[in-house]
């Protein structure tokens, strides 16, 4: 891709939609450094036995590549439903599950169906910036909702805003990215109630990091709530960001509704075969999740011991600060060979939990930062 950062946008002269003009595409800087802890990826490569199983499944699928894939991905949706039923505390069937190329595509399909021109969506920022970007891409208006100092959602103010603005889609991200904050069931129910009284609107719970949480999944809340959707991904817990497989669970009517906008045969046979192979290895992959959760907790404890403020984390990453100038702190950590993320939340940075060795390297860099700062203060 061209780097247009110094030359202005190459598309400035094209007749693009007015609302896209002057905007920047989504993207974390990918720098070639020894330790990259900036994109919330799972640091563990897939186990060899799973790689072999993927090769086997893909080989089988390859024999039929002259045919379009199963348009409805029935086998995959059945296995995803089985996985949710087993791990997320609520029985769902394939009719209530839908899959697409990453949860980004799931979210896009939801906004194409329930948002769009003349409609609005609300998210509680700071949060996953793609919610606003997908809203923009689908012509949906965007509203930024209120959070408290500790990054929990300000429920009273949020209810008021929903009643006033009557958004068509409400995004609740739990655990939230970039803060790591989990949302409790009571908050989801309060916001759902407010959204139903106002419109009624769709409430989308983005649980991309659900498997890393100290709390149970919010999936059981979909029971009896036809406008509540839970979005999940295989990118994080399954260590399969390269696969591009996200899914939703909701009332079957929601799954029927997104059929109106999904592209025919959107999920390739190769993707379906690979995801099915990964689901066969669920237990091994959830073992890595358990290791990452304990590494995440170690990062929280050690950063606090070093004197940093750390936001409670239920995800595979940790938000830490506070910095007078987070950009400078980011650069000084980078100078030591560790790439973390500056999400633009003033005073805070985010680090993804890596392997124990990667986390040690990051903690060493954080320790050096503290020592340097203490030295500077002493000299001043
Ligand atoms: C909160 C949240 N939702 C969704 C996604 C998208 O995940 P994917 O499209 O890889 O499933 C991410 C990725 O970082 C995320 O942080």
Give residue-wise pLDDT tens across range 12-49.
889 999 888 888 887 767 889 999 999 999 999 999 99
CA–CA dist 188, 178 (Å, integer): 19
Give percent of the chain with pLDDT exceeding 70: 98
Choose among 319, 291, 306, 234: nearest CA to 38. 319
**Ligand 1, atom 13: nearest CA belongs to which residue?**
208
**Rounded distance from Cα 242 to ligand 1 centre (Å):** 12
Q: What's the confidence (pLDDT) of residue 4?
A: 45
**Rounded distance from Cα 349 to ligand 1 centre (Å):** 18
Give me the architecture of the 31-46+284-379 domain, per CATH.
Answer: Alpha-Beta Complex (3.90)
Contact 318, 311 (CB under 8 A): yes
**Rounded distance from Cα 215 to ligand 1 centre (Å):** 19
The pTM of this model reads: 0.95
Looking at the chain, the domain(s) classified CATH 3.40.640.10 span 60-280
**Rounded distance from Cα 64 to ligand 1 centre (Å):** 31
Helix/strand/coil for 241: coil
Looking at the chain, the domain(s) classified CATH 3.90.1150.10 span 31-46+284-379
CA–CA dist 341, 147 (Å, integer): 21
- Among 98, 100, 177, 275, say which to mutate for ligand 1: greatest number of ligand atoms within 8 Å of CB: 177
CATH of domain 60-280: 3.40.640.10
Positive or negative: CA dihedral 296, 302, 305, 307:
negative
CA–CA dist 9, 18 (Å, integer): 14
Reading the block at residue 354, the tokens are: 């890596």
Helices (H), the chain: 48-62, 74-87, 102-114, 129-137, 155-165, 185-198, 252-258, 269-280, 282-305, 326-334, 356-379
Task: For residue 195, give every residue at least 6 positions away whose Cβ sits within 8 Å of its Cβ, in sequence order, or none.
Answer: 162, 167, 170, 201, 202, 203, 227
Task: Name every protein residue with a CB atom under 6 angstroms from any ligand 1 atom.
Answer: 40, 102-104, 128, 173, 177, 206, 208, 233, 235, 241, 246
Choose among 269, 337, 298: nearest CA to 58. 269
Q: What's the confidence (pLDDT) of residue 3?
A: 46
All residue ranges of the chain with pLDDT < 50 are 1-6
């Amino acid at each position: 891709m061209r780097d247009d950062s110094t030359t202005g946008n190459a598309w400035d002269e094209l007749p693009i939609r007015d609302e896209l003009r002057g905007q920047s595409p989504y993207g974390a800087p990918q720098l070639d450094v020894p330790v990259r802890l900036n994109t919330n990826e799972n640091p563990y490569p897939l186990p060899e036995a799973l790689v072999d199983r993927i090769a086997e499944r893909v080989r089988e699928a390859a024999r039929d590549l002259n045919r379009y894939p199963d348009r409805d991905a029935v086998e995959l949706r059945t296995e995803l439903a089985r996985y949710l039923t087993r791990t997320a505390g609520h029985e769902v069937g394939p009719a209530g599950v839908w899959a697409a190329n990453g949860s980004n595509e799931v979210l896009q399909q939801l906004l194409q169906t329930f948002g769009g021109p003349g409609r609005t969506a609300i998210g509680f920022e700071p949060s996953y910036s793609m919610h606003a970007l997908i809203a923009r891409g689908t012509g949906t208006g965007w509203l930024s909702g209120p959070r408290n100092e500790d990054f929990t959602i300000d429920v009273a103010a949020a209810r008021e805003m929903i009643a006033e603005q009557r958004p068509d889609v409400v995004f609740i991200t739990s655990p939230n990215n970039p803060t790591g904050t989990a949302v409790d069931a009571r908050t989801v129910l309060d916001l759902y109630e407010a959204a139903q009284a106002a419109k009624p609107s769709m409430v989308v719970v983005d649980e991309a990091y659900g498997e890393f949480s100290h709390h149970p999944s919010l999936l059981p809340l979909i029971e009896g709530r036809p406008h509540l959707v839970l979005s999940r991904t295989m990118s994080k817990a399954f260590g399969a960001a390269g696969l591009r497989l996200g899914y939703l669970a909701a009332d079957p009517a929601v799954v029927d509704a997104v059929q109106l906008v999904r592209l025919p045969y959107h999920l390739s046979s190769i993707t379906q075969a690979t995801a099915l192979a990964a689901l066969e290895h669920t237990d091994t992959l959830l073992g890595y999740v358990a290791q990452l959760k304990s590494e995440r907790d170690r990062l929280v404890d050690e950063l606090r011991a070093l004197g940093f403020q750390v936001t409670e984390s239920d995800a595979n990453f940790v938000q830490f600060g506070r910095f007078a100038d987070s950009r400078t702190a980011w650069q000084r950590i980078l100078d030591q060979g560790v790439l973390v993320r500056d999400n633009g939340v003033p005073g805070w940075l985010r680090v993804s939990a890596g392997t124990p060795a990667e986390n040690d390297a990051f903690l060493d860099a954080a320790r050096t930062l503290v020592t340097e700062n203490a030295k500077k203060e002493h000299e001043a």
